[in-house]
Amino acid sequence: MTLFGLDNLPYGVFSPAGGAPRVGVRLDDQVVDLSVLLDDPVFATGSLNAFMAQGRDRWAEVRERITELLSTDVPDAALHPLGDVRLHLPIEVADYVDFYASEHHASNLGRLFRPDSEPLTPNWKHLPVGYHGRAGTVVVSGTDVVRPCGQRKAPDEAAPTYGPSRRLDIEAELGFVVGAGSTLGSRIGVDEFADHVFGAVLLNDWSARDLQAWEYVPLGPHLGKSFATSISPWVVPLAALEAARVPLPGQDPEPLPYLREHDGWGLDIDLVVEWNGEEVSRPPYREMYWSPAQMLAHMTVNGASARTGDLFASGTISGPEKNQRGAFIELTWGGREPVTVKGEERTFLEDGDEVTISATAPGPRGGRIGFGEVTGRIRSTVTA
């Protein structure tokens, strides 16, 4: 059974050979050109933003119409083999916020970064912790990632040094795309999530752990995170994820009223992380402590506006078992417990390494739907 049937229909931006970028949906191993299928100029652009800005009722109307048309004979002019097209960044990213919503991941990093303190900071179970990232460094799957430079200071060094990161890492995450924004000074309620969020992508928040460890006190991640964030080319619409909804694992203490969901957005999504083609981890999204609806509500509770194209990410997805850890700093326990990849002991990323993250979720009729992949290869940098 295909992961990209009528129950899924993820959106993306593609260009056929010699053609300009336009919006399509994936059906099996074909890309359907929506500007041809629907004869609508909103899909003849190189971005999903114009369509997403039309709002939830329009998203539902278009999905219903596409499903109806694709159940019959599709015009040849609208179909392109997946292998013959180029896939692009599907959205114009307005703002980018990354959260820290896995209790397993946050506890593991707390033990690694602050071994003499409690693993979780006092605020962690009261609000979804996050940081504001760099929208301009969000790239589509397949884009090389240049090893970042910056200051790093190892525990045995008397002073910081400058140079390429020596502890380059990944973070396997889900990203959520805002379709319908909000006005400055207003708030998006926790139960209004589906009115504003268009869909989800796979996301790799590349992380330079040595740069991060030296810079993050007192204001948090900066250069250790801002050099690249990769996302998958396909945006799985929220409507396709209804069958994947599950309760959250349980929140104690009970969140403040603005974070209390009445119909929660826990999601049963299984990720797979491959390092140079070898599977090393299977992070389960259903283990996440905070839901994406709570993240969006918290992100706007101070009156900050949301905009079409805003991207916010879950933070590293990790489960309770070692083979469910979504970052290599956890998987190798800070580099002290190497993993074997293609017969070699490895801790952090080396130049030439390639990481691929894929994911599937339950579909509405007992099958599964796919997110595709997000892939990136590390390229060396020349120090100044």
CATH code of residue 65: 2.30.30.230
Average pLDDT over residues 189-206: 98
What integer pLDDT is reported at residue 113 of this predicted model? Answer: 83
Q: Where a domain ends, among 55, 88, 121?
A: 88
Q: Which two tokens stand for residue 96?
A: 């980018």
pLDDT averaged over every residue in the chain: 96
Taking the C-alpha atoms of residue 190 and residue 294, their distance in angstroms, rounded to an integer, is 6
Does 167 lie in the same domain as 36?
A: no
80, 88, 104, 105: which one is catalytic? 105
Residue count of the chain, please give it: 384
What integer pLDDT is reported at residue 383 of this predicted model? Answer: 54
CA atoms within 13 A on the CB side of 19: 21
Taking the C-alpha atoms of residue 101 and residue 118, their distance in angstroms, rounded to an integer, is 17
Whether 238 maps to a domain, the answer reads yes
When pLDDT is cut at 50, 70 and 90, the band that residue 220 belongs to is confident
Whether 4 maps to a domain, the answer reads no
Q: Which two tokens stand for residue 333?
A: 């326990």
CB of 238 within 8 A of CB of 199? Answer: yes
Query: Is residue 382 predicted with pLDDT exceeding 80?
Result: no
Catalytic, 80? Answer no
Average pLDDT over residues 162-182: 97
Query: By C-alpha distance, which of 166, 275, 176 is closest to 224?
Result: 166
What integer pLDDT is reported at residue 217 of this predicted model? Answer: 87
Q: Where a domain ends, among 53, 88, 123?
A: 88
Instruction: State the residue range of the domain holding 313.
Output: 96-379
Within 8 A by CB and 6+ apart from 377, the residues are 144, 145, 352, 353, 354
Does 171 lie in the same domain as 61?
A: no
Does 208 lie in the same domain as 244?
A: yes
Whether 225 maps to a domain, the answer reads yes
